[in-house]
Chain A
């Protein structure tokens, strides 16, 4: 993974810890994304009960990525992890059209949360390796992303399995952290 180059970009402000929150519906691909970021094996993943956290450390930098289970039953616990979040990454299964409405609702509720106000949000339109995946532009339109005015946002198509698009998304994450600190 090209995480090193991202970390190099962050080098101008050493010893910086970045708290990244990974949310989205179950089966969106959050854990696969997390493991890709940490260069771990992605072939034995099981549904997340609770949460996973991984810190990717290099050259004095620390990305703390919190991957919280997306099952309906544990979504009420999401709010316990909002505090001090630098960037929110919201993961969508682009091939699961039946749940676009549900995922849109969850995202809208997150953007209304006081503790997340102003927090930059990156939307990963994941699973682009599947033939049935909707393109990022279609998802952006469906979610009315253009109406977001109170924060930086970006939508990035990706495939957590092949790794495609992740680098671009993480570049944006770092950029938004840096510009927020200024």
Chain B
């Protein structure tokens, strides 16, 4: 409670007062200090985001919602508003622009992710069907699929004889992630699949993958992935960065599962929660970078 009151006092009153003082003592504003005081990455971008969000000036706040091609203009307006002279602080313009690319890029990436999630897998769509068959070929190069509706789908961890009912709330996002992992990390994906097909320690490869897509999606939605993307995408994060993060989760979850040796698949949600908490703890570190590194 006391902490809460102090926090309120700080953000509503003390913070402005302190900023005013430092500004007059050093001749630089908060944004300038952030942009020059930290190297590119999560710490700098997070601090810049905070400074912009809590600013009293509408010019600064609206920059957070600006479109990508308007960002240069926004930086110009901010410099005018804050009376920042390019001659005195030559790096500022570019640094703030980079921060803004990352900040606004996160929201636009989430929009693209959401669009894919809402796209329902449809057997009428040729490209959806092609992608599903591609997943099979990538994972099972030596086995031919006997027909489109077959129990064989169980071999790569779908539930029934037609995978289309398994995508559910994750839609095409789930399938695209599965294909991306198999395509860009073919060997790793097959290795994970072989662990998943272990008679005792196994799990259902595809539906656990769809479940991990849900994990990636909800981490993205809550904003928890910001530090990760601020550190790994030094500009606007793109869809492939999201798919890369999925690859990390799929690979790391498998390692975790194998190491934990759960009693049976019925314990899945319990271990998923444990893994989820580990990932969330990693994301608390400003230096976080959840990238798949393969040990050869």
Whole-angstrom distance between the alpha carbons of A32 and B217 in the complex?
Answer: 19
Report which residue of A26, A44, A49, A70 has the largest number of chain B beta carbons within 10 angstroms of its beta carbon: A49
Partner of B266, one of A46, A47, A80: A80
A169 vs chain B, min Cβ distance (A) = 22
Nearest CB of chain B from residue A28's CB, rounded to whole Å:
10
B42 interfacial by beta-carbon distance below 8 Å = no
B203 interface residue per 8 A CB criterion: yes
What chain B residues lie within 8 Å of A51 (beta carbons)?
Answer: 266, 269
Q: Does A45 contact B (CB under 8 A)?
A: yes
Alpha-carbon gap, A44 to B165, bound state (A): 14
Q: Which residues from B are CB-within-8-Å of A26?
A: 159-160, 165
User: Is A50 an interface residue, CB under 8 A from the partner?
Assistant: yes
List A contacts of B204 (CB < 8 A).
47, 49, 71, 73
Known: A44-B214, A47-B211. A73 touches B267 (CB 8 A): no
Contact of A74 among B208, B210, B211, B266 (CB under 8 A): B266
**CB under 8 Å from chain A, chain B span 256-292:** 264-270, 272
**Which residues does chain A contribute within 8 Å of B210, judged by CB atoms?**
46-47
**CA–CA, A80 and B264, complex, Å:** 12
Any chain A CB within 8 A of the CB of B207?
Answer: yes
Give the shortest distance, in Å, between A11 (CB) and chain B (any CB).
32
- Beta-carbon contacts of A35-59 to B below 8 Å, as 1s and 0s? 0000000111111011110000000
Main secondary structure of the interface of A (DSSP, over half): loop
Question: Which B residues lie within 8 Å of A27 (CB)?
Answer: 159-160, 165-166
CA distance A50 to B268 in the complex (A): 6
Interfacial chain B residues near A77, Cβ < 8 Å: 264-266
Contacts of B103 on A, CB cut-off 8 Å?
none
B213 cross-chain contacts in A, Cβ below 8 A: 46
Residue among B165, B174, B268 making CB contact with A49, cutoff 8 Å: B268
Q: Is the CB of B169 within 8 A of A50?
A: no
Indicate with 1 or 0, residue by residue over B153-171, a CB within 8 angstroms of chain A CB atoms: 0100001100001101110
16 contacts between A and B (CB under 8 A): A26-B165, A27-B160, A44-B169, A44-B218, A45-B168, A46-B169, A46-B213, A49-B203, A49-B207, A49-B268, A50-B266, A50-B270, A52-B269, A72-B154, A74-B266, A77-B264
Binding site for A on B (CB under 8 A): 117, 154, 159-160, 165-166, 168-170, 174, 203-204, 207-208, 210-211, 213-214, 217-218, 264-270, 272
Q: Contacts A44-B217, A46-B210, A50-B270 given; 5 further ones with Cβ under 8 A? A: A47-B204, A47-B207, A49-B203, A49-B204, A52-B269
Across the A-B interface, give the 7 residue pairs with the lowest CB-CB distance, nearest first: A50-B268, A49-B268, A71-B159, A44-B169, A27-B165, A47-B207, A26-B159
